A and B are shown apart, each in its own frame.
Chain A
Amino acid sequence: MITFAEDEKVIHEIRRHWYVLLTESFFVVILFLIPWAVFFGIDTLNIKLSQGEGSLFFFFSTLWLFVTWIIFMVVWTNYYLDVWLITNKRIIDIEQFGLFKRDVSEFRLDRIQDVTIEVKGILPTLLHFGDIHVQTAGEARMFIIKAVPNPYKVRDSLIKEHDRAVSESHGLTGHS
């Protein structure tokens, strides 16, 4: 669980682009369509079902849809909880790997040294998403958030917040 200081505010919640969710849930969509395809197949071939057979078909179709719905919710939860939180003090990087594994790392905004954007490929260019690499002072590790929507806007926001945090840490707020 993430705890915030009293004077800490979440400025941005950054998640991966919806395209990522679409690709991750693509197989779920295919699974979801199967009972409908079977239904239209039965209808097209004019197969007559008895009341018992109809009930049986309806039961297992609904069960199938129910299972795909649950799988989708698990996929969506993984997507939704994988987030970068930019507060007025720090950046929190939460990486969700399935339901039972997550990494949480954080760094102070004033420690940012370098922000790099990588937009690679046709779809990321057309749909305006890309990776943001953040290098922090004294850290060998590079923080990466993948497939961020509008990465240039996010970079500008990061740099703005970094400047503000640096000013505050040097006691320059209100003197510039």
Chain B
Amino acid sequence: MNEGIRESLANFISPTVLWLVYLIAFAVFVVVSIALMYHWKNYNVNSAVGKRIVRGYFLVSGIFLFSMLVAAIAYSS
């Protein structure tokens, strides 16, 4: 039964679905980033902290997005 579930999961999630999920995640990331950047830029009093936060946020997000990209490519191939 366990094998059956695993097999049907692999059949259900085609590479196209994975790429679609990736694109949705990326779109959500862009929207949230715009909102966060707007707040950090306009409402932050300490600009040095703001710059560090922006760098940290995009660095970590970039690592996650890159890892997902690698996984999606590996799954597609």
- Contact status A56-B10, CB under 8 Å: yes
From DSSP, what is the main secondary structure of chain B's interface residues? helix
Of B35, B43, B67, the most chain A CB neighbours within 10 A belong to B43
**Chain A 127-159 interface 0/1 with B at a Cβ cutoff of 8 Å (1 = within):** 000000000000000000000000000000000
From DSSP, what is the main secondary structure of chain A's interface residues? helix
Contact residue among A13, A52, A53, A69 (Cβ-Cβ distance under 8 Å from B64)? A69
The size class of the interface chain A forms with chain B is 20 to 34
- Cα A56 to Cα B15 in complex, Å, equals 10
- Cα A74 to Cα B49 in complex, Å, equals 16
- Contact status A59-B25, CB under 8 Å: no
**Chain A 55-83 interface 0/1 with B at a Cβ cutoff of 8 Å (1 = within):** 11011001101110110011001001101
Given A13-B45, A74-B36, A94-B43, A55:B60 Cβ within 8 A: no
- Contact status A59-B68, CB under 8 Å: yes
The verdict on A99 contacting chain B, using a C-beta distance below 8 Å, is yes
Closest chain A CB from B21 CB (angstroms):
7
**Interfacial chain B residues near A77, Cβ < 8 Å:** 36, 39-40
- Cα A85 to Cα B44 in complex, Å, equals 11
Number of inter-chain CB pairs below 8 Å: 78
What 9 additional pairs, Cβ within 8 angstroms, besides A13-B46, A58-B71, A73-B57? A52-B75, A56-B13, A59-B75, A62-B67, A66-B29, A66-B64, A69-B64, A70-B29, A99-B36
Contact residue among B21, B32, B43, B72 (Cβ-Cβ distance under 8 Å from A70)? B32
The size class of the interface chain B forms with chain A is 20 to 34
- Contact status A85-B45, CB under 8 Å: yes
- Contact status B65-A66, CB under 8 Å: yes
**Interfacial chain B residues near A52, Cβ < 8 Å:** 10, 75
**Chain B 45-73 interface 0/1 with A at a Cβ cutoff of 8 Å (1 = within):** 11001000100010011001101100110
